[in-house]
A and B are shown apart, each in its own frame.
Chain A
Amino acid sequence: MGDKMVNILLVEDDEIDVMNVKRAFKKNNVTNPLYVCNNGLEALQFLRGERDPSITENPQIILLDLNMPKMGGIEFLREIRKDEKLKKISVFIMTTSNEDKDKLDAYDLNVAGYILKPLSMERFIEAVSTLNNYWKLCEYPER
């Protein structure tokens, strides 16, 4: 992997949750570039280069919330799994939903993990730290 870092896209509508992730990244010294979209539709536009043409490399990891306005997480997942260019992206679900149905739907769409957002900051930081280690361990195909 060298010094080349993978891009990470956070799809999250709650401002505090965005801040939460950013704060957790900072605490764990995660320096990967982090892009933020507020719903599925925005994220889809972002990935297809319709939103910010200056970004040339698509993220290889997406942190995805499920309950969002305009386009929810599961719907967004379906869209990218249908898209030849986007279907290889690793997706981690980060949500408050503890429903079996959501979990089943998510794993049917090939997610890399399903993480429940804990209430306390401490445990969230632990979770992000674990994730960071995991990303670092993984190999990603060359573009």
Chain B
Amino acid sequence: MWESIINRIYRMKIGTRTAISYFAVIMVVLTFTTASILLLQYAKNIDIKIASNFSPVISAIKDYQLLIEESGRLSAEISIQANEAKTKRLIKIHQRLYTRQKSTLIGLCQEPGLSDIKKRIISVDKRFENTLKLQKQLIELMNADSAYRNPMKMLEAKTIKDRIDSEINKLKLVLSETTLQAISVFNKLDAQKFASYRTLSYLLLIMIIVIAILAAISILITNFTIIKPIKELNAILDEVGEGKIIQFQSDAPREDEIGDMISSAQKLVQGFKNKEQVANAIGKGDYDIKVPMLSRRDRLGKALSEMRDNLKLSKEKEAENIKSLEAYNVSLMKKNKQLEEFAYITSHDLKSPLRGINNLTEWIQEDMGEKLSEESNAYFNMLRGRAHRMEALINSILQYSRAEKTKENQETIASKSVVYEVLESLDLPENISILIDDALPNVTANKKDLTEVFKVFISNAIHHNKSIEPILNISAQQIGRMVTFCIADNGPGIPEEFHEKIFTIFQTLERRDEVENIGAGLAIGKKIIEGYGGKVWVKSEKGNGAKFYFEWPA
């Protein structure tokens, strides 16, 4: 039942509902006001009735009673001694005054509430007829001549007078009763008036209560049907405002303004939801998804579809870039490989003709023997020397092209033992002093690579050292995940402008003939170290020795 009422309410516009509730209140007020006015009128009528009837009736009864009493008094006096004036007065009462007074009284008692009194008056009147007859009899008796002299007649008069007295006494009794009755009738009316006033106050109280209840119901309904849904909607819109997208349903189908609001909000949220799905799909890479447009003015939709198009375009571009980058990478790797192969093959192919030249000069020298002049012999020796140098160069190229991080057999190696092994393999000058840091750490490496690097730096330090007491100092320091090794000598030192150049292949700082040095060692060492992610540098001044530093992963 409650639900059907609510449904009926939901089908009405809020304006209609407000009008209905105002109308109801006005109707209630009008009803109660009308009732109050009627009640007031009623009380006033009673008042008027009392004012117009009560006093005249009471005084009329009194006058009536007085008239009857007077007639009794007159008849009593007449019965003792005849008196013409008094007799006349009595006759006057009989003939005019009494009748007039009686009809006045009965006229006053026409109200239905006074019918009892009227009946009593009529019965008193009937009884008074007897008195009237007796008084007439008395008047006749006393009017006869000298009746007062006749004791018989006087006695008779006295008897009549007594009878009249008792009759009148009885009437007096009845009349005073009647007066009392009239008073009680008016008291009753008065009570009715007060009752109507009481009813009026109850009515006012009821009206106030009814209006209060109506107001409470109206507030309750407003709260339930308007404020609550607005609050709920507000909470939802707040969350939507904060970016959370929740779908919701109205509890009951509504046709009012709140219903319109809810459906508008649903439309808004649905739009957001659709946009969110589309944006998600675009985010996941679906660039062909159709963006649902809410209307032609849907700017968010337009922005979204523009975003999708731009993303699609940039994605395609990116794919192209990646493709070309990949192709570039592949070609680079191919080129690198080719370069390596080229270095390898050329060095091989260069070696055999070189050996041929070398062999042929030897054979010529051998076959010619003594016939060859000393000068020519020297030339041939120089020729062979150059051939040997060329072989050394070719071997260096080969080694350099192969020098890089060896991916297999990486292990934890004690760098100290590697240093000792390298020192054992080299031809050391007899008077050299070698200082090795006792705490050379363990590093991660392929042993061959690390050995090669130490060999390069140590032999470099020894070969160039022309000091009378050569010193070699090997130390290390670990910072984080890198170990920095330092190989220091007390040799001639390297001027700063050459600090970079010495690491380039075939760059030496001395004449090639003077030192048996190809100039590939440091370049090979650098290539290996950089393959492990380390750096190489040198600190040196001319005449103060050189310190070579290189990093290696711990």
Q: Which residues of A contact B (CB under 8 A)?
A: 14, 16-17, 19-20, 23, 67, 96-99, 117, 119-121
Contacts and interface: CB of A to CB of B under 8 A. Distances in A.
Nearest to B392: A119
Measured as residues with beta carbon below 8 angstroms from the partner, the interface class of chain B is 10 to 19
A96 B363 contact: no
B529 to A, nearest CB: 21
A93 to B, nearest CB: 14
Given A119-B387, A119-B391, A97 B356 contact: no
Given A16-B356, A119-B387, A119-B388, A96 B351 contact: yes
Indicate the member of B358, B359, B360, B387 with the most A CB atoms within 10 Å: B359
B318 interface: no
Looking at A16, A17, A119, which has the most chain B CB atoms within 10 Å of its CB? Answer: A119
Given A14-B352, A96-B355, A120-B388, 17 more contacts: A14-B356, A16-B359, A16-B360, A17-B352, A17-B355, A17-B356, A19-B363, A20-B359, A23-B363, A98-B395, A99-B344, A117-B355, A119-B387, A119-B388, A121-B359, A121-B362, A121-B363
B348 interface: yes
A13 to B, nearest CB: 9
Interface of B: 344, 348, 351-352, 354-356, 358-360, 362-363, 366, 384, 387-388, 391, 395, 398
Nearest to A117: B355
A119 B362 CA distance: 11
A119 B355 contact: yes
A96 B344 CA distance: 12
B348 A16 contact: no
A97 B355 CA distance: 13
Contacts of B355: 16-17, 96, 117, 119
Nearest to A27: B366
Chain A binding surface SS class = loop
Chief secondary structure at chain B's binding surface = helix
Contacts of A20: 359
B271 to A, nearest CB: 68
A23 B359 CA distance: 10
Contacts, number: 38
Contacts of B363: 19, 23, 121
A98 B363 CA distance: 26
A96 B362 contact: no
A97 B348 contact: yes
A20 B357 CA distance: 12
Residue of B354, B355, B363 with most chain A CB atoms under a 10 A cut-off: B355
Contact of B362 (A99, A117, A120): A120
8 contacts: A16-B356, A17-B352, A96-B348, A98-B395, A119-B354, A119-B358, A121-B358, A121-B359
Contacts of B391: 119
Contacts of A98: 395, 398
B378 to A, nearest CB: 17
Nearest to A124: B359
Contacts of B351: 96
Nearest to B349: A67
A119 B354 CA distance: 8
Nearest to B356: A16
Nearest to B344: A99
Contacts of B344: 99
Nearest to B354: A119
A14 B360 CA distance: 13
Contacts of A121: 358-359, 362-363, 366
Contacts of B359: 16, 19-20, 121
Contacts of A97: 348
A120 B358 contact: yes
Nearest to A67: B348
A106 to B, nearest CB: 15
Nearest to A13: B352
Contacts of A19: 359, 363
A73 B351 CA distance: 17
Contacts of B395: 98
Nearest to A15: B356
A58 to B, nearest CB: 28
B440 to A, nearest CB: 28
Contacts of A99: 344
Nearest to A121: B362
B352 A96 contact: yes
A14 B344 CA distance: 19
Contacts of A96: 348, 351-352, 355
A17 B358 CA distance: 11
A14 B348 CA distance: 13
A97 B344 CA distance: 9
Contacts of A14: 352, 356
